[in-house]
A and B are shown apart, each in its own frame.
Chain A
């Protein structure tokens, strides 16, 4: 693939994201406030119920779990919602016409989204830490790879939802329900054998150790890291597989331009 072409497509998708973020600034701001208010409700509700028990490890766990859910939500909804929105406004077919191919267009769009979401997520984390008075250890060398491996599954789900949206169009109901299923994945008890293979679950616990206890990434058990990367890659690969199949189905049935 021509490097110049890929460079242009990357710039196009980045430019598009920045412009849209500006034009939809109110929407971005209101969704950030909603996410913050939901956390505030959880925090205040938890403190009212659990009292002083929601301190220390418990509070750190809540913050880390919420952080992972927030990033997973960003990654998943960004990808799936983008595809639904492009199909709705009729630009999806134009993206398919890029000489770089739709796969690269999507990859670059998500890379831009990742950078953007890291920025927004960091601001949210800061606000949450200031509210709770719980300051987590932000060891970027350990946190970023762990977070990426953890939310890889969210991209996989995003690809699946996006692929389904190409064929079945109105999938908003299932799309929104899945956001709450994510909470279940994150909260599943660690002593269940199956939990470590669920999306986000093992990653949340490892991030808890890194951000709460100050453990460095290389001090974590290699088997845990291996399972984390393997499950993340597996969910991502499954998402890519479903998406490729759905894309072919949509092209075969002539559904790309329909909504």
Chain B
């Protein structure tokens, strides 16, 4: 099967006069199947945006190759560009002096879609994104959330098969972010688009993507399904509520034997722990029993992607 995106050995080195070269991206390999929705995560400076810009041809890679639906972007740039569209850096990359409808019309034409072919779908997008009533209002008069929706709609309006969304929910309030996530989920499911979504917001990635690629210092450190990543920690994260508080020395004994121990004083006193092995549950109960504390409740904590990400960044679970 032809991959929607195939990246091999992608490297980007920034050379600056009189300074050491900075390796932003190191020999990245990535394959994305048609219809997949992939999240690209990583701390600041991990190389996410550089990777996306190299794939899009906005930045020249130092080495490696990028194929979009089987076409090498270096040799068949025009054909590859037809298959791709992007929202970069939030809502800045649309024309604020133009209306939402004009922006959609402009960007579809720029992508080579004639007006008569673009219009029905543009209207649909305006409806779906809740912009139909304000389609003839200048973008600068719209709210931040609406502007962001216009930017995403412009990227989708080109009907490109591979869409890159770099921080699509940046600066949005919670309600608008949730709405945009829902729209992206629905559009990805109904149209079978391939989406690569980069975000600092783990909840967005967890909500929209099935697979996540985590980058650190220019390298891919994890490439797995969101479900697998959550499962990796789900079976091991426990919360013990102690009705009699925490006796002296218990914390030290727990920390000596188990990793990821967090003590939360209060009523009840809560001990959170991530166990290396499932059978360690018996061992921790034994330690608590020996310390003479009463266990009020034991709950298996549901880790979210943010926690999984933070633990992976600390080197746990890899």
Contacts and interface: CB of A to CB of B under 8 A. Distances in A.
Interface residues of B, number: 38
Contacts of A257: 53, 58, 88-89
Given A89-B95, A99-B81, A4 B58 contact: no
B112 A8 contact: yes
Contacts, number: 107
A7 B113 CA distance: 10
Nearest to A10: B109
A117 to B, nearest CB: 20
B253 interface: no
A23 B97 contact: yes
A256 B50 CA distance: 12
Interface stretch (A13-21, A46-54, A155-163): A13-21
Given A94-B93, A99-B78, A9 B110 contact: yes
A24 interface: yes
B96 A97 contact: no
Interface in B81-109: 81-82, 84-86, 88-89, 92-98, 102, 105-107, 109
Q: Which of B81, B88, B93 has the most CB of A within 10 A?
A: B93
Interface of A is mostly: helix
B11 to A, nearest CB: 13
Nearest to A9: B110
B79 A99 contact: yes
Interface string A227-259: 000000000000000000000100111101100
Contact of A252 (B50, B60, B115): B60
A96 B56 CA distance: 9
B108 to A, nearest CB: 8
Contacts of A256: 58-59
Contacts of B97: 19-20, 23-24
Interface band, chain A: 35 or more
A255 to B, nearest CB: 9
B59 A98 contact: no
A11 B60 contact: no
Shortest beta-carbon contacts, A-B, top 7: A90-B92, A12-B109, A5-B112, A99-B81, A99-B82, A12-B110, A254-B59
Given A15-B105, A15-B109, A98-B81, 19 more contacts: A8-B110, A8-B111, A9-B112, A16-B106, A19-B102, A20-B97, A23-B98, A24-B97, A89-B96, A90-B89, A93-B93, A94-B107, A96-B58, A97-B56, A99-B78, A100-B78, A101-B77, A254-B12, A257-B89
Interface of A: 1-2, 4-5, 7-9, 11-12, 15-16, 19-20, 23-24, 89-91, 93-101, 105, 248, 251-254, 256-257
Interface of B: 12, 14, 50, 53, 56-60, 77-79, 81-82, 84-86, 88-89, 92-98, 102, 105-107, 109-115, 138
29 contacts: A4-B114, A7-B114, A8-B110, A9-B110, A15-B105, A16-B106, A19-B97, A19-B98, A23-B97, A23-B98, A24-B97, A89-B92, A89-B95, A90-B89, A93-B53, A93-B88, A93-B93, A94-B110, A96-B58, A97-B81, A97-B85, A97-B86, A98-B110, A101-B78, A251-B59, A252-B59, A252-B60, A257-B58, A257-B88
